[in-house]
Structure 1
Amino acid sequence: MKKFTISMSLALSVSLGLSAAACSSGTNTTTTNIASANKPAAHTSAANTVAVTNSAETKPADETPASVKAVFPDAQSFTKQHKDIPKDAIADIEKDSGAKVPDTDHHSYLAFSTTGGARKQIGAATVVTAGGKEMVVVYDNKNGSPIIKEVRADGVPAPFLAQFAGKSHDDKFTFGSTIKANGVDEAAAKAITSAITVDVMTMQALYGAAHSH
């Protein structure tokens, strides 16, 4: 009877030991599988990083006014130029024009076309504000100096604006002599004339070829 009891005890102990081992082994396997399932694939992080980087990249905003774009319908792109006007040039412009230079930072817009495969400049323009109106002054080049090709503005009579065509800094045009009101309020016409005079002189100072008068 004692032998049987001892044998049963040994058998029970061995059985429990095997069960414990089996349970322990099963727990480790489950933990490993969960860890593997939760571990992200190596390339996932890189892909997410690229996506974030690409989404953060933005193109620079186009600062060209719609009024300037309308002047150059054949242009595919524009470049906005910022140039500081030298102090001595400002003094000369204000002395010769009798008007104030509105800002030391002058802006102009260059129009480019890619027709035919080559990128080439097809024009330049500035935006001038005076007399409650905004004018687009379109420039051409003559003997290395900027010359006004045309002036456009909404709500300003065409006969008045047409007087500026062909004018350069050498013409020293003034209201009342070279430029007439032609249907524009006199105060506004005078302000517009002064502003365009300052602009064409500024364009010469910044971009014109040096020459003697």
Structure 2
Amino acid sequence: MKKLAGIVLLVSLAVAVAACSGGGEQGGTTTTRNTTNSAAANTGTSASPVGAASSNGADSPGGGAANSDAPASVRAALPDAQSITTQHKDISDSQVASIEKETGTKVADKDHHSYLAFSTAGGTRKQTGAATLVKANGKELVVIYESRNGVPYIREVRAEGIPQAFLDQFKGKGHDDKFEVGGDLKTGGADDATARAAAAAIRQDAVIMQTLYGGKHSH
């Protein structure tokens, strides 16, 4: 009888141990699964979308220049540019001598700055214009150029405090023109000193642009 009772007790203990072990494993599996699911959910929430595009709009059409180095007056003069590249080119001593002889003016700075405008259409990036800054009689002028068969011609000149009637006379002029007040230019409401200083500065710049960037052409 005692032997039978001992066997029953051993069987009961074995069943209890098995039940506890099964419950522990199930609980452990559930905890692990919940932790994994939570981590996956957190990863999905915090990850950035693949191929996300920048929304700064720096190169959006009509949005102005992407190059912050370009002065505000230049960006305003090139409103259709999606980007503007600042170009620095050294004028050699021989080029300086030639420019000064042709224009009758002194080249004050051998480091010439120009601003090249670019736009993209149909997947093709192309230059749409260029601009320079010149000073005359204490005023700053923006000279906008276009290319005709590789030769730079003035498309427009802008300046504060100088009559537009005077500035409009520079449209279409190139390095071969005289830029002479009383000749191919009139004062157009500008005072004589400013008109002559502006004409000389713009002519020198046009010759520099041809020297540095212009292609060969017949006169």
TM-score normalised over the length of structure 1: 0.68
**2:211 matched to which residue of 1?**
205
Deviation readout 1:166-212 (Å, 9 max, x if unpaired):
10011132222111111111111111100000000000000011234
Q: What secondary structure does 1:184 align onto?
A: coil
Written as runs of structure 1 = structure 2, the 5 A alignment for 1:20-39 is none
**1:72 matched to which residue of 2?**
78
**1:92 matched to which residue of 2?**
98
**2:168 matched to which residue of 1?**
162
Cα distance in 2 for residues equivalent to 1:103 and 1:176? 28
Contact in 1 for aligned 2:128/2:146 (Cα 8 Å): no
State the 1:101 CA deviation.
1.2
Cα distance in 1 for residues equivalent to 2:77 and 2:191? 25
Q: Indicate whether 1:189 and 2:157 are aligned.
A: no
Cα distance in 2 for residues equivalent to 1:205 and 1:166? 18
AA paired with 1:142?
R
Q: Pick the aligned partner of 2:117 from 107, 111, 120.
A: 111
**1:102 matched to which residue of 2?**
108
Q: Pick the aligned partner of 1:144 from 140, 143, 150.
A: 150
Cα distance in 2 for residues equivalent to 1:142 and 1:102? 28
TM-score normalised over the length of structure 2: 0.66
- Structure having greater relative contact order (Cα 8 Å, sep ≥ 6): 1
Residues matched between the structures, number: 154
Cα distance in 2 for residues equivalent to 1:78 and 1:103? 22
What value does the CA root-mean-square deviation take over the aligned residues?
1.7
Q: What secondary structure does 1:174 align onto?
A: coil
Cα distance in 1 for residues equivalent to 2:163 and 2:95? 32
Percent of pairs with identical residues: 58
Deviation readout 1:8-67 (Å, 9 max, x if unpaired):
xxxxxxxxxxxxxxxxxxxxxxxxxxxxxxxxxxxxxxxxxxxxxxxxxxxx97210111
AA paired with 2:216?
A
Q: Which runs of 5+ in 1 are unaligned?
A: 1-59
Deviation readout 1:80-101 (Å, 9 max, x if unpaired):
0000112112111111111111
Contact in 1 for aligned 2:187/2:195 (Cα 8 Å): yes
Written as runs of structure 1 = structure 2, the 5 A alignment for 1:6-25 is none
